[in-house]
Amino acid sequence: MNTMQYISTRGQTEPMGFQDAVLTGLAPDGGLMIPASIPDVSDRLGHWRTLSYQDITFEILRLFVDLPDPDLKDLIDRSYAPFRHPEIAPAVEVGPVHVLELFYGPTLAFKDIALQFLGNFFEYTLERRNSLLNILGATSGDTGSAAIHGVRGQERIHIFMMHPRGRVAPLQERQMTTVLDENVHNLAVEGTFDDCQNLMKAIFRDLPFKQRFSLGAVNSVNWARVLAQIVYYFSAGLYVMDQRGAANVSFAVPTGNFGDVLAGWYAARMGLPIRRLVLATNENDILARFFSCGEYSMGAVVKTISPSMDIQIASNFERYLYYRLGEDAAALREAMERFGREQRLSVPVGTEGVVDPLFVAGVGDTASTLATIRRYHEEQGYLLDPHTAVGVHVGEQHLEDGVPMVCLATAHPAKFSEAITDAIGEPARHKILDALEGKPTRFEPLPSDIDAVREFIAQHALT
């Protein structure tokens, strides 16, 4: 059993094991939990090339978790049993790129890959500790439904999921609000996703309230989310390099909260030969601007056809910034306090004007996103969802001879029927989503007010 310890980016939380770090979610000092060290697996890649997705998951997770090997294997097998493709996350060659299809889970989104595991992990740990958990989350779309489907019906868990009212795709909203299990509470908050995320973080900082109601997190502030996503970089990267006889590989990642691309950064640190991480944003371009000029400055949230990326404050950026500042927790605290006051921070840029040689960044606006969907449908017979199309559009700008480009497909196009219709003249369909039509829904409208959210939790939480 692994003894990896976890520390907070802000340096004022006692180190803890994996189970405690995952149940804690956001660190008590307001920081994010990270592993105390990053293992180097470069000498194992030859063997891993021969493994199934589940077996690569086991080999990676066992480096980070404090569970007996048989229990970990069982959790992994149960987590991926509901997936509708035998390879779990296949990489398909489409024109000049490979598309990594991450939408074969129960809610047709990449979040299922981590949240099916996290839901089973919560059930496993709470049963052994005879404990209860109240999950508080915020979603711009896919996290909410994936988290809800990961824990629905569990006796030891209630989930409170905030979404910005009227700012998620209708089918994304229906996937959440048609789940009527007693342990599921959908909160439709007036405002943006950033408002929901700020409410969540503020409530987690209220330590007496957090402890009284045993609050935990499923957003990508939870380390288990990032950890489970590291796996498909190795799985797809090794497969595509073998297929193309390449020495390294690049990934284009549609990015909102920085969790998915951060998993790629960890994969590179662990020894996967990644040439470039291509960070792709929509018009909400705070991260693209940072990797272009070194300044992280907040703007107004723009509503787009890729709503899961309509984010200005990327919660996982703090993890990256911790490493970028030399793993100096005091410097990180100072930077985050400055950002809280001034809504901006900056880091030194290298002599060649490069913030980080691993990253390149770009923007896919609405026009280019629709054009990319239309072009791939007409020329390749392949349908991209709008988030994936943002990644493909930016990824195409960074193709290099001899370096395959893997573009992460974060959701099934049928979840965004309106955008697909705008692009190709007809909607995309999926039987799972068609089955939601006409089903009863349940949600609680709430103002963007911390007291209102706290009161609702207090009235409905497991205690």
| Residues with catalytic function | 111
How far apart, in whole angstroms, are the C-alpha atoms of residue 458 and residue 463?
9
Instruction: Mention every residue, 6+ apart, whose C-beta is less than 8 A from residue 183.
Output: 151, 152, 153, 154, 155, 157, 158, 159, 462
How far apart, in whole angstroms, are the C-alpha atoms of residue 396 and residue 265?
20
Nearest to 429 by CA among 419, 447, 417, 421: 417
Nearest to 218 by CA among 144, 325, 282: 144
Q: CB of 232 within 8 A of CB of 204?
A: no
How far apart, in whole angstroms, are the C-alpha atoms of residue 167 and residue 164?
5
CA dihedral 22, 113, 105, 184 (to 10 degrees): 20
Q: CB of 152 within 8 A of CB of 409?
A: no
Structure tokens at 6: 């976890």
Structure tokens at 78: 């149960």
How far apart, in whole angstroms, are the C-alpha atoms of residue 171 and residue 444?
18
How far apart, in whole angstroms, are the C-alpha atoms of residue 370 and residue 184?
35
- The half-sphere exposure of 401 on its side-chain side, counting CA atoms within 13 A, is 0
How far apart, in whole angstroms, are the C-alpha atoms of residue 183 and residue 461?
9
Angle at 418 between CA 98 and CA 185, to 5 degrees: 95
Angle at 403 between CA 399 and CA 405, to 5 degrees: 55
3-state secondary structure of 157: strand
